[in-house]
Amino acid sequence: MSATANNPSNTTEQLSGARLLELYQTMVLSRYLDERVWLLNRQGKAAIAASAQGHEATQVACVEATDPSKDHYLIYYRQFAAMMALGTTPEEMLRGFLAKEDDPMSAARQFPLHGAHPRVDLFNFSNVIATQLPQAAGVALADKLKGSDAVTVVFFGDGASSQGDTHEAMNFAGVHKLPLIFFCENNRYAISVPIEKQMRVESVASRAVGYGFPGVLVDGTDVVAVHEVTKAAVDRARAGEGPTLIEASVERLLPHTTDDDHTRYRSAEDIAHMAERDPVKILSALLKRRDLLNDDSDAEIHAASKKRVNVATDTVDAEPYPSVDTMFDHVVDSVGGNF
Amino acid sequence: MAFNIELPHVGESVTEAVIGKWLKAPGDTIEKYDPLVEVITDKVAMDVPSPATGILTKIFATEGETVLMGAVIAEMDTAEEVVVAPASTQSATSSPSASRIGTLVQGANVGPTGGAFLDTSLSTPEPTPATSDAGKGISSGSRSSLTRKKGFSPVVTRLAAEHDVDLDSLIGTGLGGRVSKKDVLAAVEHRRVSASTSYPRGIIAEGEDEIIEPTPIRRMIADHMVKAVSEIPHAWSAIEVDVTGMVEWRTANKERFESENGVRLTYLPIALSVVAGALRSNPRLNSNWLDGKIVLKKAINVGVAVAADGGLVVPVVHNAADATVTELAGVLDGVVPRSRSGNMTIEDVRGGTFTLNNTGSLGSVWGGAIINHPQAAILTTEAIVKRPVVISNGGNDDIVVRSMMNICLSFDHRIIDGAEASEFLQSVKSGIEAISSDSDLR
Amino acid sequence: MSEQTVIEAVRATLQSEMRRDGSVIVLGEDVGSRGGVFLATDGLIDEFGENRVIDTPLAESSICGVALGAAVNGFRPIAEIQFADFVWPAINQLVGEASKVRYGTNGVKTAPMTVRIPYGGGVRGGLYHSQSIEVLFSHTPGLFVVAPATPYDAKGLLATAIRTDDPVIVLEHKRTYRLVKGDVPDEDYTIPIGKAEIKRPGTDMTIVTYGLMLHYSLQAAEMAAVNGIDVEVIDLRTLRPLDEDAIAESASRTGKALIVQEDTPAVSISSEVAAIIGERCFFDLDGPITRLGPPELPPMPFSPIQEAAFMPSPEKILAAITKLSEI
C-alpha cells in the first residue's frame, strides 16, 4: 500500500460526520484530562505521567478502526487517548494516576496505564520498552492457531523500534503471517534522543520490507487518514494476509513525562513550531469547515469536558489508597502447583 | 465571600518557596484548579492551583519574594464552600553531624524516572479508614525456632566444656529461662574474680597433702560466703530459751499430730512459726541494705538451712507468718527432703528475707552464723540440753532441771543495733516459752 | 510401568500432556523436525503438526515473549531454551515480565507457561554449554522453579508445571538425560511443586542437594555406609519455593547438614538452604553447616582434567561427609 498524503479534508463512508464529531469529543475530553493529570503531578499528587497530547488523533482513529469486542490491544505508557477511546472513564484513568485502591488496571501496583483493562482485552505488563512486541506476536499466534479473526494491535514509539525485541517480533510475525498490526507513533524523540540518532533510514515503516510485510506511513494528526490505513491493515489481518507496520507521524507536545524538561534538548522554535500540529485544533478546524461544529458548540464541548474532569478529580481525590493487606495478593495462584 | 489563598505545603522537607510569575491578576475570573502562580523551591518549579471558582481579588506575595508554606499569598471571592485540607505536619530534616557523612539537601528529591516530583500523596489524612497494621514482611527472627526450653546452644556447650561449668547449676537469663552464652561467661567471670580476691596465692601442696577440686556448688557457696562477710558488718547476740514447755507439748501431741497430718512433727515448724511472728513485730530484722538504703521487706519468707549432699542449701518457706504450725510442718516435710537430694526448684530458693538454721540438730550450743546476703540477720537454734537452772519464786531461789536451748543471732550492724537485736530475741524467747503441754498450737 | 531415562520421561510427558490438553503447544529452536537437539520433542511434530510444535527463529527473548503472549491468550505454551547458557536474553521476558503478569494486573491476567531449560556440566561443555542458571529465577517472586533429577520426578513435575497457571521454569540437568534410568508409571500422576523428597533416609547427617548432584550424593552415601556413617539424602526437587519444612526437619533430626551443589556457591541455592538451617535448626546442630561446591570460577573449563577438578564428584562428597562426621 502506498503512503497516504496529508489529506484531511474529506470524510469517508467509513467515518460519518456524526461519528467524527464524537471522536472529536473524545479527543477534547482526553486533552483536558491529560492536562489535569499534569497539574496533579505539579501538586505532588500524581507521581508520574506521560502525556498523549499531540497523539490524540492517531490513537482515537486507530481504535476506531478495530473491534473492541474481540480485538487485542498491547499498549505502552503513552496511550492515554487510546484508553479513553476504548471507554475508560476519567475516574478510572485518575485512579491509576493517583494510585488509588480502585485502579482497575493494577490496583495501583503499577504505574498508570499498566496492568489489564477490566472490559476490553488491553494490557501492558511493564514499562520495559518494546517487550510487548514479542508478546503481541504470541497473542496473534494464539488467534491464528485458534482460527479466530481477532486482530492484535501493538503500540510502540520510535524509541522502541530500536530494541532487539522489535526486530524479533516483526521477524516472527512475518514468518507466521500473523494477524498483528505494528502501530508505531513516531514523535521523533526517544526521551531526548532525536530520530536522526536512532536510525539511518527515513522512517520506521520502511523497515517492514525486511520482514516481508507492508509498511505504511501516515500523518498522525489526521483522524480520517489514520482511520483509513488502520482499517485497511485490520481487514488484511482478518483475511489472513498477515501483519502491517503502520507509522503515524505525530508531535509530542509535552516533554517525555512529568520528570522531563524538553527545553534542555529542543529549541524554542521547535517547540513553538510543533504546536501547529495540534490534532485537537486541526480536527476542530476541519469540523468547522464542514459545518459539523461552530464556535458555540465547540465551547460547549470544551466546557463539558472541563466540568467532567473536575467532577472526576474531586471524586477520585477523596478515595482511599490500597491497604497494606492487599499487597500480598496475586503473586502466584494460591493453588501453586498442588494438584 | 472572601477566602484566603495560602501557599500549600508540598513535601516533608520543604518549608518555603520563592514566588515566580503570577498567571492571574486581581479582577480575573478563576476556576477551581486553574494555575494561579508559579512557585519555585530548591529544585522544583510548580504551579499553585486555585482552590475554588471565583474572582481573584488581591495578591499579597510578589514575584521574587520568599514565602513560608502556609502563608497567605492572595485573596479571592467565591460563592463556594471551600474545604481546605489540613496542613501536613512539617518535620525538619536533621542533618547528620559529621560532614563526611554528608547532609540532606532540603527540597531535593528524585521523581519516579529522574525528575523532581515532590510526593504529597500521603500528606493529607485518609478520608476513610484504610491501612491496618503495616509490615507483614518476614524477618528471619520470626522464623527462628526457640522452642527448646532446656537445650544448650552450641556455644554454651563449648564454653561450659572449656571452663568446666556445670550447666545444670546455672539459672538462665535467656528466653524461657534458657542458659545463654552470657550466663556461662558470667559464671566463669564470677569464679575468676572470687578466686583472685579470696584465695591466698601460692598454696603449696606438701608431701601427702590431698588437693580437692571444689564442685561448682561448693564454689558458689564459697563465693557467697566471702561476699557476705566482706560486705556486711556482722554483730552477734544470744539468749537462753526455756523450752521445757515446748518439749512437753511435742511429747504429748506428736503421735496425734503425725497421724492426723501425715507429716513428722519436729521442733522446727514451731520455732519457724514463732520466729516468723517475731519478724512481723520486729520488721528491721526482715530487711535488706540496698544501695545505701534500708528496704523493709513486706513478705516474710524464712529460709531454712538444710545440709544437702553438695553443701548447705536454703529452701525458703514463703509467707511463713501467715501459716499455721501444721501448714509449716507440711511445707517443711516436702521441701527439706527435696533440698537434701538436690531436687529444688527456682521457687524453692527464691525470695528469702530471713534465715533460720537449726545447728542444734548437730549438737551445737553456740553459733555465729554468717548472714545469708543480702538479708539483715540469721538465727540459729542450738541444741536442747537439760540443765540445772535457778528459778526465783517470790524470794526463794530453787534449782530445777529444765530443757534449755540457746538461740544465737548474727545481724547486720548497719541496719540493726544491739537493742533491736535483743528485742527480737526476747520476742522469740517469750513466744517459745509461752508454749506448754496443753497449748493449742495449730 | 516402564524403565525410562530422564529424556524419555520428558518426551513421554510432553506427548501425554499435549494429548490431554489441546491448548498445550511447544515452541523453540529445532523442536520440530529435528525433535530437539536432545530429542526431547522427538516425534511430536509428526503427531501434533506444525501448529502445535513450532520451530522458532534463533531469538530467545521472543521465544519467551511469544510464549507469554500465547499464554495470556488461551494456550499453555512450553518454550524450550536450547541451552541454559543462552537464556540470558530471555531474562527480561521471564524475570521482568512473566513473573509479574498476575501481580501487575491484580489477578486479571495469568501466564500459564512453562520454560524447559537443559543446564549443567560435566559434559565437556566448556563455558557456554555447562552453566547452572537457577539463582536468578529462584530469587524471583511470581515464578516457580523445579529441578527434577530422576525420570519419575521429571514426569510428575513437568506435568504439574504444564498444568500450573503461573510461569514455571523446569531445569533439566543435561547429564541426567541419558545417564539416569528409572521406573516411570504409565498412569497419569503429578508431583506437587514445593515438596522435597528424602531419597535415602539416614541418621548421622543430612545431605541437601538437587540435579546431577543428587546421584553423586547417593553414591557417596553408599560409600559412607560402608564406613558406618548413615547419611540421609534430600532431593530438593523444587528450587522455588524451597521445602523449608523438609530441610529443617531433617537437619534437626540428624544434627549435621551438608549442602551439595554444582552451581558456584557464592550467593546461590546452597546459601539459602544454609540460612534456613541456621534459622530453624540452631539448637539442634552438632556441627557447622557445610557447603560443598565447585571453586569460584566461570563454569567450567573445557579441558578434561580441569573440568573434573571443577565438578563435585562422589569422591569429593564422600570426603566432605567423612570430615563432617568426625566433628
pLDDT-above-90 percentage for chain B: 36
Judging contacts by C-beta atoms under 8 Å, the chain B residues touching residue C285 are 154
Per-residue pLDDT reduced to its tens digit, B388-440: 999 888 889 999 999 999 999 999 999 999 999 999 999 999 999 999 988 88
Exposure letters C309-320 (e unless 16+ CB within 10 A, then b): ebbbebebbbeb
Q: What is the predicted pLDDT for the residue at C77?
A: 98
Locate the domains of chain C by residue range. 2-184, 197-326
CA distance B417 to B292: 17
Whether the pLDDT of residue B149 is over 90: the answer is no
Q: What is the predicted pLDDT for the residue at A225?
A: 97
Tell me what ipTM this predicted complex has. 0.86
Task: Look up the CATH number of domain C197-326.
Answer: 3.40.50.920
Q: What is the predicted pLDDT for the residue at A3?
A: 35
Strands (DSSP E) along chain C, which ranges?
A: 2-5, 24-28, 53-55, 76-80, 114-119, 144-146, 168-173, 181-184, 197-200, 205-209, 231-235, 238-240, 257-260, 290-292
pLDDT-above-70 percentage for chain B: 80
Task: Reduce the DSSP state of residue B286 to 3 states and report it.
Answer: helix
In a domain, A335, yes or no: no
Check B127 against A310: CB less than 8 A apart.
Answer: no
In a domain, A61, yes or no: yes
CA distance C298 to C319: 24
Question: Hey, which residues of C are catalytic here?
Answer: 129
Average pLDDT, stretch B340-345? 72
For residue A75, what is its C-alpha cell? 499498549
Whether the pLDDT of residue B141 is over 50: the answer is no
- In 3D space, the residue among C242, C327, C234, C244 whose CA is nearest the CA of residue C280 turns out to be C244
Check B148 against C280: CB less than 8 A apart.
Answer: no
Per-residue pLDDT of chain A (339 residues; tens, 9 = 90+): 333 344 444 445 589 999 999 999 999 999 999 999 999 999 989 989 999 999 999 999 999 999 999 999 999 999 999 999 999 999 999 999 999 999 999 999 999 999 999 999 999 999 899 999 999 999 999 999 999 999 999 999 999 999 999 999 999 999 999 999 999 999 999 999 899 999 999 899 999 999 999 999 999 999 999 999 999 999 999 999 999 999 999 999 999 999 888 998 999 999 999 999 999 999 999 999 999 999 999 999 999 999 999 999 999 999 999 988 888 889 888 665 566
Of B115, B120, B127, the CB nearest to A258: B115
Split at pLDDT 50, 70, 90, the class of B196 is low
In a domain, A174, yes or no: yes
Question: Hey, which residues of B are catalytic here?
Answer: 413, 417
Task: Look up the CATH number of domain B2-78.
Answer: 2.40.50.100
Whether the pLDDT of residue B128 is over 80: the answer is no
Query: How does DSSP assign C146-205, residue by residue?
Result: E---SHHHHHHHHHHHHHSSS-EEEEEETTHHHH-EEEE-SS-----TT--EEEE--SSE
CA–CA distances in Å: residue A44 to residues A338, B20, B45, C150? 45, 18, 11, 57
Sign of CA dihedral A265, A268, A269, A274: positive
A189 annotated active-site: no
Give a three-class secondary structure readout of A83-105. HHHCCCCHHHHHHHHCCCCCCCC
Check B144 against C282: CB less than 8 A apart.
Answer: yes
Judging contacts by C-beta atoms under 8 Å, the chain A residues touching residue C28 are none
Task: Reduce the DSSP state of residue B164 to 3 states and report it.
Answer: coil
Domains C2-184 and C197-326 equal at CATH topology level = yes
Task: Look up the CATH number of domain C2-184.
Answer: 3.40.50.970
Check A43 against B10: CB less than 8 A apart.
Answer: yes
Domain of A206 in residue numbering reads as 17-317
CA distance B440 to B211: 54
Looking up residue A210, the CATH number of its domain turns out to be 3.40.50.970
From C170's Cα to the closest Cα of chain A, the distance in A is 13
Whether the pLDDT of residue B195 is over 70: the answer is no
Q: What is the predicted pLDDT for the residue at A32?
A: 98
Looking at the complex, does the CB of residue A156 fall below 8 Å from at least one CB of chain C?
no
Whether the pLDDT of residue B193 is over 70: the answer is yes
Of B140, B143, B153, the CB nearest to C283: B153
Looking at chain B, which residues constitute the CATH 2.40.50.100 domain(s)? 2-78
Per-residue pLDDT reduced to its tens digit, B197-236: 554 555 566 778 888 888 777 777 788 888 899 889 999 9
CA B414 to chain centre: 25
Q: What is the predicted pLDDT for the residue at C92?
A: 97
Task: Reduce the DSSP state of residue B401 to 3 states and report it.
Answer: strand
pTM score, whole prediction: 0.68
For residues A216 and A245, the answer to whether their CB atoms sit within 8 Å is yes
CA distance B115 to B113: 6
Q: What is the predicted pLDDT for the residue at B335?
A: 81
Number of helices and strands in chain C (H, E): 13, 14
Task: Look up the CATH number of domain B233-433.
Answer: 3.30.559.10
For residue A32, what is its C-alpha cell? 483536558
In a domain, A5, yes or no: no
Whether the pLDDT of residue B255 is over 60: the answer is yes
Q: What is the predicted pLDDT for the residue at A5?
A: 40
For residue B328, what is its C-alpha cell? 509449716
Task: Reduce the DSSP state of residue C42 to 3 states and report it.
Answer: coil
CA distance C261 to C104: 34
For residues C90 and C27, the answer to whether their CB atoms sit within 8 Å is no
Domain count, chain A: 1
Looking at the complex, does the CB of residue A42 fall below 8 Å from at least one CB of chain B?
yes
Looking at the complex, does the CB of residue C279 fall below 8 Å from at least one CB of chain B?
yes
Whether the pLDDT of residue B126 is over 60: the answer is no
Judging contacts by C-beta atoms under 8 Å, the chain A residues touching residue B135 are 324
Per the DSSP assignment, residues forming a β-bridge with C208 are C234, C259
Round the average pLDDT of chain B to a whole number and report it: 81
Ranges in chain C, pLDDT < 50? none
CA distance A132 to A183: 12
Whether the pLDDT of residue B135 is over 50: the answer is no
State which residue of chain C sits closest to B155, comparing Cα positions: C283
All partners of chain B with 3 or more CB pairs under 8 angstroms: A, C
Residue B340, sorted as left (phi over 0), alpha (psi -120 to 50) or beta, turns out to be alpha
Residue A145 amino acid letter? L
In a domain, A158, yes or no: yes
Whether the pLDDT of residue B309 is over 60: the answer is yes
Whether the pLDDT of residue B5 is over 60: the answer is yes
